[in-house]
Chains A and B, each alone.
Chain A
Amino acid sequence: SAVISQKPSRDICQRGTSLTIQCQVDSQVTMMFWYRQQPGQSLTLIATANQGSEATYESGFVIDKFPISRPNLTFSTLTVSNMSPEDSSIYLCSVEYRESEAFFGQGTRLTVV
């Protein structure tokens, strides 16, 4: 299995500021995924990050709001920019390890005030 370390585990931020979430994996993986889980809701994919190329965003998510970096095969960051209270959610990174198996980080609980 893959071990994923996600930081920070939680944060309270002022509206209008930005937060960068880090995701570190203990093995090299091709694809990394960023999900958002709004309060009481299911997980929705924000974007897929492939090393060496720009992230692919799902409908409703844009790079200016959620810029993603993927500098190598074990690390990725997601930035939530110009935050508003509506961005208060849990953000989770995930990796595909072996075909079809997905592993998740512990999640980042973001509260925007």
Chain B
Amino acid sequence: AQTVTQSQPEMSVQEAETVTLSCTYDTSESDYYLFWYKQPPSRQMILVIRQEAYKQQNATENRFSVNFQKAAKSFSLKISDSQLGDAAMYFCAYRRFKAAGNKLTFGGGTRVLVKP
């Protein structure tokens, strides 16, 4: 079974600075998707970024980028130029590749605090 681990329960960052969130996962599959979701106090789960395992290039979405290390089964998220609106819970998630209806497996989450 796949497992996703986020070792940092909470991270604090100064506004405009950079913070990196860690995520490791365990799978026997060779093809899969990885995601970072943001959950603000409103409870809405918002997709931040996704990575296909077959792509070597790290995904980037504006101020958010990932460092995907397939051999190490590591998938970290970097938030650059942090803004107050980035304060939220961040969840790393895994999904099997090309398997319709397959569930997301989530890590335990990391709370990001942004200091003005």
Contacts and interface: CB of A to CB of B under 8 A. Distances in A.
B93 to A, nearest CB: 8
Interface stretch (B57-65, B78-86, B98-106): B98-106
A90 B43 contact: yes
Q: In the complex, which range does the number of interface residues on chain A fall in?
A: 20 to 34
Interface centre among B98, B101, B107 (most CB of A within 10 A): B101
A65 B107 CA distance: 25
A106 B44 contact: yes
Contacts of B44: 104, 106-107
Contacts of B91: 42-43
Q: How large is the interface on B (under 10, 10 to 19, 20 to 34, 35 or more residues)?
A: 20 to 34
A92 B100 CA distance: 19
Contacts of B33: 100
B45 interface: yes
A109 B47 CA distance: 20
Contacts of A64: none
A73 interface: no
B108 A42 contact: yes
B108 A33 contact: no
B101 A42 contact: no
A58 B102 CA distance: 12
Interface of B: 33, 35, 42-45, 47, 50, 52, 91, 95, 97-98, 100-101, 103-104, 106-109
